[in-house]
Amino acid sequence: MLEPIYAFATEKSRMFELGIVVVLVVALIRGRWREIKSWLARRLEGDNKYPQRKDAEQNREIYRELVELRAVINADRVYILRFHNGTEFLPSHPAWRISCTHEVVKHGVTYESARLQGIFVSRIPNIINPLLTGTSSAPGVFAMQCSQCPFQRKCVQENKHIVLIQVDELNGSYCRFHLENQNVKTALFCGLNINGNVFGLAGIDYCDSKVSQPEAIQDIAQQLCRVAERLRFHL
């Protein structure tokens, strides 16, 4: 008759000890929560905290694509812009920014990547809105599709659009001021997306003269679209 009682007492004692351990662990966590949180963050970040060899390889592939694209279409400047959240505004909506991460230029053309950092997306709606919606009614801004491209339907499904900007036809805006400061006459942009979500864009600038021939614009747009399709897997 004593054995069940003894077993029950033993089990109760173990549960009591386990409860003490839990209380001590909770107290320890509360007292050192900052250190534990920092340790967990470092473990979760892993190798992403520092540049790795794979990053160098990806950058090499990106620049190879940009150099070849610039040479094929004889552009003055080719670059990549990526979205990021620079700050928060009330009521808790993110204020999206865009920054240049990669740039290739023709000999004699200035690099502009240092000035293309942290630009509020809200200041360049002439570029961003057509890229996201595929439509534009602003003067000098044209949302276009490659009519002869076999991947046209795929681009529409993935929300991938190309925007043509003729700077001299733009109305007075920050976008025109910004492009004129870079001596841009014609610019084309293609969205970089994953699963239909745009995370950046590939851009082309022509500074010496305006590109107005429809055939030339169509060829440039197709080349840009094909390169953008490959670039997104390296970013």
H/E stretch holding 79 reads strand 77-89
**Full DSSP string of 85-132:** EEEEETTTEEEEEEEEEEEEE-TTPPP-GGGSSSEEGGG-HHHHHHHH
Confidence tier at 47 by pLDDT (50, 70, 90): low
Q: Are residues 186 and 164 in the same domain?
A: yes
Structural domain containing residue 30: 2-46
For residues 100 and 58, state if they share a domain.
yes
**223 and 117, same structural domain?**
yes
| Residue 6 scores a pLDDT above 50 | no
Ranges 44-58, 158-172, 204-218: which has the least confidence: 44-58
CA 18 to chain CA centroid, nearest Å: 49
Q: How far apart are the first and last CA of the chain?
A: 72
Residues 189 and 157 in one domain: yes
Nearest to 106 by CA among 207, 210, 231: 207
The pLDDT assigned to 5 comes to: 47
Residues 57 and 38 in one domain: no
Q: Across all residues in the chain, what is the average pLDDT?
A: 80
42 plus 78 within the same structural domain: no
Look up the pTM and report it: 0.72
What's residue 151's pLDDT? 60
What is the total residue count of the chain?
Answer: 235
Q: Is 8 exposed, middle or buried (0-12, 13-18, 19+ CB in 10 A)?
A: exposed
Same domain, 86 and 156: yes
| Rounded average pLDDT over 100-129 | 89
Q: Do 38 and 89 fall into the same domain?
A: no
Same domain, yes or no: 24 and 59: no
Q: Are 16 and 96 in a shared domain?
A: no
- Whether 63 and 15 share a structural domain: no
Section 97-126 average pLDDT: 90
H or E element in which residue 192 lies:
strand 186-194
pLDDT over threshold 90, residue 14: no
Instruction: Tell me the pLDDT tens digit for each residue of 71-111.
Output: 999 999 999 999 887 676 666 677 788 999 999 999 999 99
Q: What is the mean pLDDT of residues 158-172?
A: 84
More confident: 197 or 159: 197
Asked whether residue 117 falls in the same domain as residue 214, the answer is yes
β-pair type (162-166, 93-105): unpaired
Q: What is the DSSP letter of 182?
A: T
Q: How many CB atoms lie within 10 A of CB 66?
A: 23
Q: What is the pLDDT of residue 147?
A: 60
Number of domains in the chain: 2
Percent share of the chain, pLDDT over 70? 71
What is the residue whose two structure tokens read 């470092």? 42
CATH number at residue 129: 3.30.450.40
Query: What pLDDT, on a 0 to 100 scale, did the predictor assign at position 100?
Result: 93
Predicted local confidence at residue 30, as pLDDT: 65
Distance CA 42, CA 179 (A): 41
Using 50, 70 and 90 to split pLDDT, how confident is the model at 2?
very low
Residue 77 pairs in a beta bridge with 105, 205
Q: Evaluate whether 104 touches 67 at the Cβ level (below 8 Å).
A: yes
Q: Which amino acid is at 99?
A: S
